[in-house]
Amino acid sequence: MPHILAHAIEIATTILTVAGMGYFLASLLAARRFLRERRAPRPDCAPVAPTGRSSSVGWAPGITVLKSLKGLDPGMMDAFRSHCRQQFAGDFELLFGVSSLDDPAAAAVTALAAEFPERAIQLVECPSRLGTNGKVSTLVQLAAAARYDVLLINDSDITVGPRYLERIAGCFAPAACDAAMPPVGLVTALYRGRAHGTLASRLEALGIATDFIPGVLLSRWIEGGLHYGLGSTLAVRREALEKSGGLLALVDQLADDYEMGARVARAGFRVVLSTEVVETSVPAYNWRGFFDHQLRWLRTVRDARPGGYAGLVFTHGLMWALVNVIASGLSPLSLWLLGLSFFLRLAQAMTVGAGVLADHSVLANLWLLPLRDAAAMGLWIAGFAGDTIVWRGERFALKDGRLVKVERD
């Protein structure tokens, strides 16, 4: 019986290793496809709608940037400054929301306004807790004060390039060649992580570049476009937001970014991935913080896309190859599969991390990839073992996408 079991494990891990190599190759091709699209010039199509401002640098509708704040995040002021230094022909404003003016983030916004007096910067107190998701509760109250038709939501630690608003706005440009297609309702963007100090922080940043983003690019290719949003950038037209149910419908959702994009898509609008890449600041996690954050993300994915979560079994090809080597007793075939799997994994990581995201830390941290993959596989298994998550020090149960507060004993 032990021999039969060992043989069964060898066969199963061989199949999973081959499937994993197929995933690495497919995500590599999806990344190459995105790179070709990014290099291709946009069609020269004249705007057909009177709203917004057309200029030599593109379509420039008015944009309101909404940021929900709670406390101070690493690199937050530099991230704020990057939004103030935009080379954008249109009008834009920055609205920052805090639940209380005693929040230390309020003083940071006041200092920002003094540093950039030429920018329309407003601090808004948003005291009402409308649901379990405090961030969305703040956004609902902020949106009521917004002046413009395009609302752009991103996190407090997101750093952007000087042409960020221009490139995001350009995706909304109504062009004659797109007349037969549904209008763009939401624009989102890829992101890279900037680690801070600890090994756990470096592993998380590496995972963004080599695990999460390859999956996004592959799903976009397979599904013929994106049908969800990424929290790094959620630029949405008011019409699309209202027809999809509005922000208020998301106040109990954990994956509010995913849900907003999914609802906009279901309402008949397109979700577009911008060519712009932004940067998020990864905190200097200790191991407990790292595992809590990873489990929160994984259980969110499991709840939002249960089939996709089960399909993550094929993304752990390198680990299945290592198990296959052990199960087969170092057979020549298993060693060959391990070598090929490792080569494809490195090619995927370098193409997406260095090529798509311009994340220069990926090459320096490639030696951590086996450790990252081992942690990712263990966390993926742990993601099946419950539905509770920890978010900003509070514990919640996740039920059908909704957050239910779990009271501590």
Query: What tens digit of pLDDT does each residue of 215-234 get?
Result: 999 999 999 999 999 999 99
Residue with tokens 């191991």, as numbered in its chain: 287
The least confident of 132-141, 175-184, 335-344 is 175-184
Alpha-carbon distance 178 to 227, whole Å?
Answer: 18
State whether CATH 3.20.20.150 applies to domain 50-301.
no
CA distances from 89 to 57, 59, 118 (A): 7, 8, 14
Q: If we measure between CA atoms, which residue out of 317, 299, 279, 258 comes closest to residue 399?
A: 299
Q: How many CB atoms lie within 10 A of CB 277?
A: 20
Query: What tens digit of pLDDT does each residue of 110-155 get?
Result: 999 999 999 999 999 999 999 888 899 999 999 999 999 999 999 9
189-216: b (≥16 Cβ within 10 Å) or e: bbbbbbbeebbbbbbbbbbbbbbbbbbb
C-beta separation of 281 from 205 below 8 A: no
pLDDT of amino acid 402 = 76
pLDDT more than 90, % of the chain: 74
Alpha-carbon distance 21 to 8, whole Å?
Answer: 20
Alpha-carbon distance 266 to 228, whole Å?
Answer: 10
Query: What tens digit of pLDDT does each residue of 63-82 get?
Result: 999 999 999 887 899 999 99
DSSP H helices in 254-313? 256-266, 287-304, 306-311
pLDDT of amino acid 303 = 83
Mean pLDDT of 27-49: 73
Q: pTM of the predicted model, to two decimals?
A: 0.90
Domain residues of the chain, as ranges?
A: 2-36+308-405, 50-301
User: To which H or E segment does residue 113 belong?
Assistant: helix 104-115
Alpha-carbon distance 138 to 67, whole Å?
Answer: 9
CA distances from 102 to 69, 71, 112, 173, 245 (A): 12, 10, 17, 40, 32
Mean pLDDT of 365-372: 95
Q: State the helix-helix crossing angle for 199-207 and 369-382, rounded to 10 degrees.
A: 80
| Confidence label for 184 from pLDDT (cuts 50, 70 and 90) | very high
